[in-house]
Structure 1
């Protein structure tokens, strides 16, 4: 990671705007972007946005009674960023401490199988960064292969939108696959809570949440891990500085002896 001076988190949004062949609109779920945005911003992180196809990503599920969502959708910096997001293919993963896959039904069509997204996720994770996903966002974790050749989901404990929740919202026959089933087929253990209950699972540097109610909690757990990442980087920098200083001192001592 080339983190230099800034602490940055990337929120990835779907570009898919149609719910299967129903004709219904979909996109990213606003609350699942808004609440993490607030958590990261309050923790001192810069928040960037990207989408699968770039441009202005479609929104879904805006709650006008939620002050956090209202702040998010009216914030001038956020509005400018969302007006023309970069395409995921051109994003430089070395610029980010963490990436969060924001949910919404649209992700079920364009997160899964996207090679550029898979590469970004693997690069951030392999470099010691934090990967998060909430609700349908874990659809982007499917088929992600790490540098060691092992699937990111293999043997992991995760949370994601459950079969029961999909059935309750009446989308079981609409989505291209059931997310819980797919994650389990990838070798993950899906930890299931009651419908709409805040449920977050942390496994190494992977943080996942079950539903919109889990969005803020996912971000909070990510910030805890991010603090560890930053401290580790600082420790490595200090160690390298001390080693360089010792090397120069030894060189100077040798010159004085001559």
Structure 2
């Protein structure tokens, strides 16, 4: 009997915005909108976070019915109370992994080896790896079994240096995401600030900003159907 179709959504556990005294976390609409696309396409969705437990959400807008549905879905609500860590889930259970953004990702996604290993194993088994906005921070140090960077030579989109400057956080984040991906050999492309932009390169799907979240989900479903 074949296993259920499943996608894993990854959330940051980092909740402080550098030394600003402000909070951050995973960006709720970037989790909710792909979740809606995935579930509508017949996929089961699980959540994981870097440190496990209850991750902090940012950017919530409960007037958005999709965000409200995400938070009130019984399965999602239960998982959000006690997410597992990456080392506690099995790559072979999933068809794809999505790195959700939020500024917190810039501090913890790049340095979690279990998370990198999980995404590598999903990708090398023929699954898809996706990331949106600051989520591609999880791709910066993601290497394949041959030691090469997953993004090397790949076309990608991510939160741009221009967008980071426009929100006044260039000097707050530990690195500039666009620049870091380019340093790993990625071919970064960008649309105008805060407009939707999604790039698909084989089984790698990336989106530039929150406006890209739904289209990232749709692109993942198309990749998995091909």
Task: State whether structure 2 residue 194 is matched by structure 1 residue 196.
Answer: yes
1:34, 1:46 → 2: CA distance?
Answer: 14
Match of 2:116?
118
2:180, 2:27 → 1: CA distance?
Answer: 21
The ranges of structure 1 where at least 4 consecutive aligned residues each deviate by more than 4 angstroms after the TM superposition are none
From 43, 46, 49, give the equivalent of 1:48: 46
Match of 1:152?
150
**TM-score normalized by the length of structure 2:** 0.98
Q: Greater CA deviation, 27-36 or 112-121? A: 112-121
Task: State whether structure 2 residue 9 is matched by structure 1 residue 25.
Answer: no
2:3, 2:206 → 1: CA distance?
Answer: 28
1:187, 1:201 → 2: CA distance?
Answer: 16
1:157, 1:56 → 2: CA distance?
Answer: 33
SS at structure 2 position matched to 1:100: strand
**Higher Rg of the two aligned structures:** 1
From 159, 174, 193, give the equivalent of 1:176: 174
SS at structure 2 position matched to 1:133: strand
**TM-score normalized by the length of structure 1:** 0.86
Post-superposition Cα deviations, 1:205-238, rounded to whole Å, max 9, x if no partner, equal 000000000001001000011112xxxxxxxxxx
Q: Give 1:192 deviation, angstroms.
A: 0.7
**Any stretches of 5+ residues in structure 1 without a counterpart?**
229-258
- Number of matched pairs: 226
1:127, 1:78 → 2: CA distance?
Answer: 26
Q: Give 1:4 deviation, angstroms.
A: 2.4
From 154, 158, 161, give the equivalent of 2:159: 161
1:204, 1:12 → 2: CA distance?
Answer: 21
Post-superposition Cα deviations, 1:91-127, rounded to whole Å, max 9, x if no partner, equal 1101000000000000000001211111011111111
Q: Give 1:144 deviation, angstroms.
A: 1.2
The alignment yields a C-alpha RMSD, in angstroms, of 1.0
SS at structure 2 position matched to 1:69: helix
